[in-house]
Amino acid sequence: MDREVYLDYQSAKPVDPRVVEAMLPYFTERFGNPASLHTVGDRATAVLDEGRAGVAAFIGAQPDEVIFTSGATESNNLALIGYANRAKREGAHVIISEVEHISLHNIGKFLEKSGFRVTKVPPDQFGRIDPDKLRSRITDDTVLVSVGWASNEIGTVQPISRIAEMLRGTGVALHVDAVAAEGLLPMDMSAVPVDLLSLSSNDIYGPPGLGALYVRKGVRLAAVTIGGGQENGLRSGTENMPAIVGMAAAARISAEELPRESARLAAMRDRLIAAVLSTIPDSHLNGHPTERLPNNAHFRFEGIEGESLLLSMKDKGIAVSTGSACSSKTLEPSHTLISCGLLHQEAHGSLEFTFGRFSQDADVDRVMEVLPDIVARLRRMSPLYETH
Amino acid sequence: MDREVYLDYQSAKPVDPRVVEAMLPYFTERFGNPASLHTVGDRATAVLDEGRAGVAAFIGAQPDEVIFTSGATESNNLALIGYANRAKREGAHVIISEVEHISLHNIGKFLEKSGFRVTKVPPDQFGRIDPDKLRSRITDDTVLVSVGWASNEIGTVQPISRIAEMLRGTGVALHVDAVAAEGLLPMDMSAVPVDLLSLSSNDIYGPPGLGALYVRKGVRLAAVTIGGGQENGLRSGTENMPAIVGMAAAARISAEELPRESARLAAMRDRLIAAVLSTIPDSHLNGHPTERLPNNAHFRFEGIEGESLLLSMKDKGIAVSTGSACSSKTLEPSHTLISCGLLHQEAHGSLEFTFGRFSQDADVDRVMEVLPDIVARLRRMSPLYETH
């Protein structure tokens, strides 16, 4: 079999071996519960404080603005449900961008069942949310706006600074799901007035099963997970110490390497985009041509199905995605692509490549060795494709 | 400094090195998201299935009856809030035993705010819940009863089989928090008609940050964490694969070693209990004399404060607890001991020892080298203690 090529970093990332190394002692000889009053507990408390400071520094926040959770999904639950429930007396209207991860839209449906009105704001054809269009949807009843820093699917980066500035002082809070962008774009909460920011540990090559929610000082939430009152009462459950150490180590490595690594990934991405668009007829780039994540290349190939493409690539030992991993097993067309104005059959013909820390130039070569032939073969069998 | 002695296994456990070994490849070369359609995703799906089967086998359950969560607290949230919300049309009354972990009582308060009536059922002086007393509190409106398999604090084991048999066929569901007892007492869901059972990975020497909820076939819950629909729609969020592999490995080791290990721990416990009660005047055993966890010894020393005892032990390099780690920093007397009929000052004079996999006979010797002197010294300074 051919060498395996992994180009689906948006759905899962290996943990950096340096991070695993940092975590290891905290599983065994340095274990402990920060709630304990003895020496082992004291040590755990110090480690927890250090881990929190490390994650805070990564996003220009203060340590007490960081709440550890079990992952991005829980961060999003705490941000949206926790904020909305707390703010219910002030208003019951929430705005969510159409290009968010499916998990956010499901939280939106949950809020609707709980008595909130949820409005979706559509993107332009490149997946960008226009701050003015967003503003026009705000009413006196609006308490919260949720827009991701970038799309995990088509890679379009949102104008978060402009959206945050537009909302500043209006009393409407801004939640940003930063999972797709963290480690790829710099984020500085001391410069951008975001109120709530969801982070995932694994998306910066930290261990899975841990996330964080940045909660700007003064922003109040209702707890979603109830229990012993850990994490300032907002997220009960004994802290996951090895993972917290790991996420802090991952954040430090990510911050150090970000400028060089993002440039390296962008070069691979650009080479793949140029090669695909120039080699494969009737292929198109989805998402924004320039305002896109440095690691994301998302294509549409006329006349064929993304699923067949994905399976043919799989046969060649190449792992790619048709969109969000979390909905990839449902075979429904991507809601993000539909929001950008694509027809159902166009959305179905799409394929997503996401590069990451262990990607190499050779991966692009390998894709270009097999992809043009696969597309040509599938088109020959496709009743939907006619050469022009 | 003296050798460190850790006798607070109820608050945190080191991960077994064999478990760490099993997890390691899943951080790096065998990473993956089970939702992905490519080879890496297929492998992750197989690993997830195997992990679920491993945890199911540990408690005599079917794989599809196991839901992975981020830990015991989340399992308890999903069990109580998820079940109560789903069953609300049938009734709005929940019964919780008084000797549960503080996190369960806080969930109870949350349910009260959500419109449920919550009744607490008191234990006898040994911390046991009488099935008949429990039955007398059930009304037509009762939907759920929650009783822990054993107290994490005083170690008393509940008559779960009898409670489960008493509830069988009544339409009232039984939730059991098994965290304190798992790995110490055998549990077989095919023999005992429990409906919902909360498990923690770390409490069987698996990684922290993972738990499971057993949900008997046919028992329906409302989701608490909303998102991509993982875990049968009950617990969204990408699965924590290395931790799931770790919990399954921990469960296998625990099942294999349970009979011998529980006997080994019980021998240490009994030696400590006999030594303390015979050597230290005016000392008493809290909890049940025989129906107690094999690893738990919980004492009350007249006339002194548990906090001072704990700190004096800490100075000698011995880690113990005054009760639940999750409330140990509040300095409030243990609600469990108060429920058993102790006065506030009596409850305050208590100290908990919990043995575990890495405890040795020498640990008991070390405690007995220092504890009698510490108790005597503290009593000399105590205005509360008068020798008889």
Cβ within 8 Å, pair B328-A77:
no
> In the 8-state DSSP scheme, what is residue A97?
E
Query: From the candidates A57, A326, A338, A368, which is the catalytic residue?
Result: A326
Lowest mean pLDDT among A270-279, B244-253, B323-332: B323-332
Q: For A72, phi and psi rounded to 5 degrees?
A: -60, -40
Average pLDDT over residues B12-19: 98
Lowest mean pLDDT among A202-211, A328-337, A357-366: A328-337
Give the tens place of pLDDT for each residue, B63-77. Answer: 999 999 999 999 999
Percent with pLDDT over 70 in chain A:
97
CATH class, range A5-13+258-381 = alpha beta
Percent with pLDDT over 70 in chain B:
97
Average pLDDT over residues A342-350: 87
Query: Which of B33, B80, B200, B312 has the highest number of chain A CBs within 10 A, making it the mutation to test binding with A?
Result: B33
Min distance B319 CA to chain A CA atoms (Å): 5
Position A87 scores a pLDDT of 97
Residues contacting residue B256 through CB under 8 Å, at least 6 positions apart: none
Q: Which pairing describes strands B283-285 and A211-215: parallel, antiparallel, or unpaired?
A: unpaired
**Does the pLDDT at position A324 exceed 80?**
no
Residues contacting residue A136 through CB under 8 Å, at least 6 positions apart: none
Q: For B180, phi and psi rounded to 5 degrees?
A: -70, -25
Higher pLDDT, A85 or B345: A85
Indicate whether this complex's ipTM tops 0.90: yes
**Does the pLDDT at position A59 exceed 80?**
yes
Position B332 scores a pLDDT of 75
Q: How far is CA B295 from CA A39, B157, B378, in A?
A: 21, 12, 26
Residues of B in contact with A370 (CB under 8 A): none
Average pLDDT over residues A199-221: 98
Q: How far apart are CA B366 and CA B319, in angstroms?
A: 12
Average pLDDT over residues B372-384: 94
Residues of chain A with CATH 3.40.640.10: 17-253
Searching chain A, which residue's CA lies closest to the CA of residue B227?
Answer: A103
Higher pLDDT, A330 or A51: A51
Residues facing residue B285 across a β-bridge = B299
Cβ within 8 Å, pair B103-A11:
no
Cβ within 8 Å, pair A210-B209:
yes
Average pLDDT over residues A193-203: 98
Position A19 scores a pLDDT of 98
B17-253: what fold? Aspartate Aminotransferase; domain 2 (3.40.640)
Residues of B in contact with A33 (CB under 8 A): 11-12, 325
Higher pLDDT, B74 or B307: B74
Position A1 scores a pLDDT of 46
Tokens 């617990």, residue located = B235
Q: How far apart are CA A352 and CA A388, in angstroms?
A: 25
Q: For A266, phi and psi rounded to 5 degrees?
A: -60, -35
Residues facing residue B157 across a β-bridge = B150
The packing angle between helices A39-58 and A241-279, to 10°, is 30
Position B347 scores a pLDDT of 86
Average pLDDT over residues A226-245: 95
Tokens 């721990």, residue located = B265
**Does the pLDDT at position B255 exceed 60?**
yes
Instruction: Copy the structure tokens of residue A41.
Output: 């507990």
Q: What residues of B act catalytically?
A: 326
Average pLDDT over residues A229-257: 96
Residues of chain B with CATH 3.90.1150.10: 5-13+258-381
Residues of B in contact with A210 (CB under 8 A): 209
Helices (H), A280-360: 306-315, 335-339, 344-348
The shares of helix, strand and coil residues in chain B, as percent rounded to the nearest 5, are 45, 15, 40
Position B1 scores a pLDDT of 46
Searching chain B, which residue's CA lies closest to the CA of residue A207?
Answer: B27
B2 falls in which pLDDT band (50, 70, 90)? low
Q: Which residue from A20, A74, A314 is facing B225, i.e. has the nearest CB?
A: A74
Q: What is the mean pLDDT of chain B?
A: 95
Question: By the 8 A CB rule, do A280 and A371 touch?
Answer: yes
A330 falls in which pLDDT band (50, 70, 90)? low
Give the tens place of pLDDT for each residue, B220-242. Answer: 999 999 999 999 999 999 999 99
Cβ within 8 Å, pair A241-B208:
yes
Q: Which residue from B27, B226, B314 is facing A15, i.e. has the nearest CB?
A: B27
A143 falls in which pLDDT band (50, 70, 90)? very high
Residue count (chain A):
388
Min distance B198 CA to chain A CA atoms (Å): 13
Position B344 scores a pLDDT of 84
Q: How far apart are CA A147 and CA A121, in angstroms?
A: 9
The tally of CA atoms less than 13 A away on the side-chain side of residue B321 is 32
Q: How many interface pairs between A and B have CB atoms less than 8 angstroms apart? A: 251
Position B346 scores a pLDDT of 85
Give the tens place of pLDDT for each residue, A102-135. Answer: 899 999 999 999 999 999 999 999 999 999 999 9
**Does the pLDDT at position A328 exceed 60?**
no
Terminal Cα distance for chain A, rounded:
36
**Does the pLDDT at position A276 exceed 50?**
yes
Q: Burial of B217 by CB count in 10 Å (0-12 exposed, 13-18 middle, 19+ buried)?
A: exposed
Terminal Cα distance for chain B, rounded:
36
Searching chain B, which residue's CA lies closest to the CA of residue A14?
Answer: B28
Searching chain B, which residue's CA lies closest to the CA of residue A33?
Answer: B12
The pTM of the full predicted model, rounded to 2 decimals, is 0.96
Cβ within 8 Å, pair A12-B20:
no
Residue count (chain B):
388
**Sign of the torsion angle spanned by Cα atoms B336, B337, B342, B343:** negative
Q: What is the mean pLDDT of chain A?
A: 95
Query: Which of A47, A238, A309 has the highest number of chain B CBs within 10 A, making it the mutation to test binding with B?
Result: A238
A203 falls in which pLDDT band (50, 70, 90)? very high
Q: How far apart are CA A326 and CA B33, in angstroms?
A: 9
Chain center to CA of B298: 15
